[in-house]
Homo-oligomer: A and B are copies of this chain.
Amino acid sequence: MAAGTPRGRGAARRPRLTDVAQEAGVSIATASRALSGAQGVSEYMAERVREVADRLGYVANLHARTLAGGPTSVVGLVVHEIGDPYFAEIASGVLGVAAAEGLTVQICHSGRDPEAELTQIRTLIANGVGAIIVAGSGFVDGGVRAKVTGTLRSYLADGGRVAVIGRHHLAVDTVQPDNDAGGYAVVEHVVGLGHRRIGIITGSRSLTTIHDRLGGMGRALQEVGLDLASTPVVEGVFTREGGKVAAAELLEQAPDVTAIIALNDDMAIGVLSVLRDRGISVPGQVSVTGFDDVAVAQDLAPGLTTVRLPMGDMGRQALQLALSPQAKRPRRRRARAELIVRDSTARPAGPGRSAD
């Protein structure tokens, strides 16, 4: 952006602290103290300064303030993709508490790309944000992880605050959705209904979120004598479109499945769409489940059985963690996963009682 400061001719410039001080008849030192609520200013002076500042519409220049070592008032938020309702709802929670605290938030996309995530984090740090919230799953492996860890560690050492949502192999405050338990619960529900020929549709397994959800699912499968290894699992992009592609592939590989478990709602919506196109009834012929419980899940028809994660809350909690003083040891807040049973799951059509 051009910043050659092409001031309009005669435009009223923003008042500076000097203007306030002068108008109030004090030094900028007392003016600064009065405005920041610091101690050591007479109430009388403080009041006078505040009044003038108000009248002039004075707002401190953030850059000057931060550079001078004042408190920082912007936090960074890294999401995979803000257009994705999961992240949009988390962001909403973060923005909500930020506004209440008089903070401002900088959002970046990582696009689910570890390299990009690293770049974005570095940019936020360069921008001098006081805290960084990394939403969205970390990556299970990869050399980038070490770099992210290193970058964040030195940021922390520099006085920065970090909170992550999801598991991150980082010794920082984290809001941890109970993905494993959620995975367990959804499979338990599906097998409890009597399904045995189950197909799974998942996003990239290099995401810790996926890894954990699958973990819980594997345990639940084993309890009824099944396991992940012998279950058809199709990996795709973690989006509605990815869900469509994966569903088509799954139906190819295992045309006899009676239940399809998608690892997020977006993919589940894609699955529903494919089944509808093919005239396969849900839950009559095939049951479908999602994960996250994004707002629309309840409005689909059939309503989507899914695992609810309190996204807005997770965002709020993450920012609150990041805002509170750093504890001796990283804190962990668990976000409970709750199975929400709606209309997209039912008992499988019995062999002799098939509606066909």
Q: Given A62-B63, A62-B128, answer yes or no on A108-B83 (Cβ-Cβ < 8 Å).
A: no
CA distance A125 to B61 in the complex (A): 9
The segment from A42-50, A64-72, A205-213 found at the interface with B is A64-72
Determine, out of A95-103, A134-142, A224-232, the stretch whose residues face the partner at the interface.
Answer: A95-103
For this chain, the copies found in one complex come to: 2
A108 to B300, CA, bound (A): 30
- Find A301's partner among B1, B95, B107, B276 (CB 8 Å cutoff): B276
* Chain A contacts with B in 1-46, Cβ cutoff 8 A: 1-8, 11-14
Which residue in B7, B81, B157 is a CB contact (below 8 Å) of A157? B7
Is the CB–CB distance between B71 and A67 below 8 Å?
A: no
Residue of B nearest to A93 (CB): B83
Chain B CB within 8 A of A240 CB = yes
> Contacts A72-B1, A125-B59, A128-B63 given: A108-B103 contact, CB under 8 Å?
no
Q: Give how many A residues have a beta carbon under 8 Å from the other chain's beta carbons.
A: 79
**Which A residues from 103 to 120 make CB contacts under 8 A with B?**
103-109, 111, 116, 120
Interface contacts beyond A5-B158, A12-B154, A273-B298: sample of 12 additional A-B pairs, CB < 8 Å, sorted by A: A1-B130, A2-B71, A3-B66, A59-B126, A61-B67, A62-B63, A67-B67, A83-B312, A105-B106, A106-B106, A269-B296, A300-B301
Binding site for B on A (CB under 8 A): 1-8, 11-14, 59-64, 66-67, 69-75, 81-85, 88-89, 91-92, 95-96, 99, 103-109, 111, 116, 120, 122-128, 130-131, 154, 156-159, 161, 240, 269, 272-273, 276, 295-296, 298-302, 312, 323, 325
